[in-house]
Amino acid sequence: MEKLALFFPFFLSFFYAFFISSANGVNCLDQGQTVVEMRGITKRFPGIVANDNVNLVVRKGEIHALLGENGAGKSTLMNILFGLYQPDEGQIFINGKEVQITNPNVANELGIGMVHQHFMLVEPFTVTENIILGNEPRSGLKIDINKAARQVVELSHRYGLKVDPHAKIENISVGMQQRVEILKTLYRGADILIFDEPTAVLTPQEIHELIEIMRNLVKEGKTIILITHKLKEIMAACDRVTIIRRGKVIDSLAVADTNPDELAAKMVGREVTFRVEKKPSVPKDVILSVENVTTMGNRGVNALNGISFEVRAGEILGIAGVEGNGQSELIEVLTGLRKVQEGTIRLNGKEITNQSPRVISESGLSHIPEDRHKRGLVLDFSMSENMVLETYFHPEFNQKGFLNYEAIDKHAERLIKEFDVRTPSIHTPARALSGGNQQKAIIAREVDKNPDLLIAAQPTRGLDVGAIEFIHKRLIEQRDKGKAVLLISLELDEIMNVSDRIAVIYEGKIVGIVDPKETDEQELGLMMSGGKTMSGGGNG
């Protein structure tokens, strides 16, 4: 008995020591444990090394950013991790074990889920149906949809992903659709989540919410790999960042130890300026005048409600607004892709209301479309052919119905050189180029038409810092040459930096026109949400 009593404190201290050390050990493992390791990954595509001996280490519970310009090879690397591509060389370790991820099913089993840049949802199906698709809970032969809905609600509560489980995909916003994609991966039990440029399609508000969601996920023990080229987001949300340039890893560092300027320089390979350098504008004659234009949208209600504004030569008018307030319809009406019910549009004093796209284009209007894949390019055409998409019938390219491909190729060579479009050759299909280079090509084509009015719709959507800088410079160059530029963008930063005047569109009307030097995000935000109308500057 005494002996035991004697030993007791001993015992206690022993236990205590053991407990502490083991708790420490667990803690260490939790923080530092490597969940994903990619070693020496090389992936070649015809004519390009998309990943060149890439090493990537992702630790448990972190938000790891993959930063790089368009075409750097980020998606390729993640598609390899998700089993969509097979690497030519290299190894992958998940939780320390080497694995062969031959297809996405294997990735699923390993707990890897991916939210792609383009959503893969069935539009007429409900949220729940989409989430359980391919993995349905059954009762007998029937799908137990109620049980599924309960599971979805449970998951969405747990991670703070608010969705209506019975809403149809076609009726919910893009931000909501993205949540459905995230829930899909969680429903399949993913612990490692890959997001491929998730914020490219979101409004500033939705981006905030997404960052909140990612934090919740990490808190619940998930690991996140975030592909992005937006430095702001990395600084706000991520723990570590790996920078890829032209297929090679440049650096991998803790976000706390770096700053946006350093990241941008590493990503692009040179110093970049975020400020847009420009002289004050010298507006001259009115080039575009829009008067009381009304048009029907696709939903059967008016998308434009008597909108009026002017753009003068030598100025950039920026149109700010929340998505879906008539921006797309405005562009379509101006370029002849949609009919106007009321009102008049004049270009250089000549009426172009309801004229065909060709007539309008030939009257001196160029247009960088918001959806470059849908409108801007024929992806299966060669670059050479795409460069004359609107001018192939001009006498320099077309003699009596026969096309002069020699002239067309020469024209393409010149533009591609002038605008630094990186393409293996002018005969490469547009599909094979990276987004930034596709956009550069479109801009080359549109600017080369020497238009009086250039409409730039979302010209930098989905592009990296280097390309954005290039495009902004070109827009300002047009202005300085005495052309009129109409910039329509959802990126408030872009509007504020590039425009000489800002018109705010709300529910198909201009609710105010302000000077970017005399306004701030606060005021613009208020106007964009319909909370404030400026009677002074606006004429809408």
Partner 1 sequence: MNKWRNIFLAESTLVPLAAILLGLLTGALAMLAGGFDPLLAYQSLLKKVFGNAYNFGETIRQITPLIFTGLSVAFAFRTGLFNIGAEGQFIMGMLASVYIGIVFDLPAYIHAPLAILAGALAGGLWGAIAGYLKAARGVHEVITTIMMNWIALYLANYILASFLVPEGKQNSEPVKETAVITIGWLSQMFDSARLHWGTLLALIAAVVFYVLLWKTKLGFELRAVGFNPHASEYAGMNVNKNVVNAMLIGGMFAGIGGACETLGVFHYMSISAAMPGYGMDGIAVALIGGNTPLGVILGAILFGMLSFGASGMKFGAGVPVELIRVVIASVIFFVAAHGIVRYLLKPVLAKQKEGS
Ligand X SMILES: Nc1ncnc2c1ncn2[C@@H]1O[C@H](COP(=O)(O)OP(=O)(O)O)[C@@H](O)[C@H]1O
Closest CA to 441 of 459, 456, 419: 419
Of residues 191, 329, 385, 446, which one binds partner 1 by CB under 8 A?
385
| 74 touches ligand X (CB under 6 A) | yes
**Interface stretch with partner 1, choices 54-62, 78-86, 277-285, 368-376 (CB under 8 A):** 368-376
| 432 touches ligand X (CB under 6 A) | yes
d(CA 296, CA 312) in angstroms, rounded, equals 27
**Which of residues 161 and 263 has its CB atom nearest to Mg ion in the complex?**
263
Smallest distance from the beta carbon of 403 to ligand X, in angstroms? 28
Site for partner 1 in 165-184 (CB under 8 A): none
Of residues 35, 38, 63, 72, which one binds ligand X by CB under 6 A?
72
Smallest distance from the beta carbon of 385 to partner 1, in angstroms? 7
**Interface stretch with partner 1, choices 166-174, 290-298, 304-312, 375-383 (CB under 8 A):** 375-383
Closest CA to 267 of 55, 42, 48, 72: 72
**Which of residues 68 and 376 has its CB atom nearest to ligand X in the complex?**
68
Q: Which residues contact 527 (CB under 8 A, 6 or more apart)?
A: 320, 504, 506, 511, 512, 514, 533, 534
The answer to whether 276 and 291 are in contact (CB under 8 A) is no
Burial code (b: 16+ CB inside 10 Å, e: under 16) for 266-290 equals bbbeeebeeebebeebebeeebbbb
| 380 touches partner 1 (CB under 8 A) | yes
The answer to whether 254 and 240 are in contact (CB under 8 A) is yes
- Going residue by residue from 209 to 238, which x/- string records binding to ligand X, judged by CB under 6 A? ------------------------------
Q: How many residues line the site for partner 1 (CB under 8 A)?
A: 28
The answer to whether 42 and 219 are in contact (CB under 8 A) is no
Of residues 358, 422, 427, 481, which one binds partner 1 by CB under 8 A?
358
Packing angle of the helix pair 260-268, 465-480 (nearest 10 deg): 90
> DSSP states of 74-101 as a string?
HHHHHHHHTTSS--SEEEEEETTEEE--
Contact partner, 357, from ligand X, partner 1, Mg ion, none, Cβ < 5-8 Å per class: partner 1
Bridge-partner residues for 350, per DSSP? Answer: 347
Smallest distance from the beta carbon of 113 to ligand X, in angstroms? 18
Contact partner, 432, from partner 1, Mg ion, ligand X, none, Cβ < 5-8 Å per class: ligand X
| 68 touches ligand X (CB under 6 A) | yes
Contact partner, 120, from Mg ion, partner 1, ligand X, none, Cβ < 5-8 Å per class: none
- Other C-beta atoms lying within 10 Å of the C-beta of residue 483: 23
In the complex, the residues that contact Mg ion under the rule CB under 5 A are: 75
**Interface stretch with partner 1, choices 32-40, 91-99, 397-405, 469-477 (CB under 8 A):** 397-405
Smallest distance from the beta carbon of 48 to ligand X, in angstroms? 5
- Other C-beta atoms lying within 10 Å of the C-beta of residue 424: 12
| 377 touches partner 1 (CB under 8 A) | yes
The answer to whether 70 and 434 are in contact (CB under 8 A) is yes
| 335 touches partner 1 (CB under 8 A) | yes
d(CA 391, CA 478) in angstroms, rounded, equals 20
| 534 touches partner 1 (CB under 8 A) | no
Give the residues lining the site for ligand X (CB under 6 A): 45, 48, 50, 68, 70-76, 432, 434
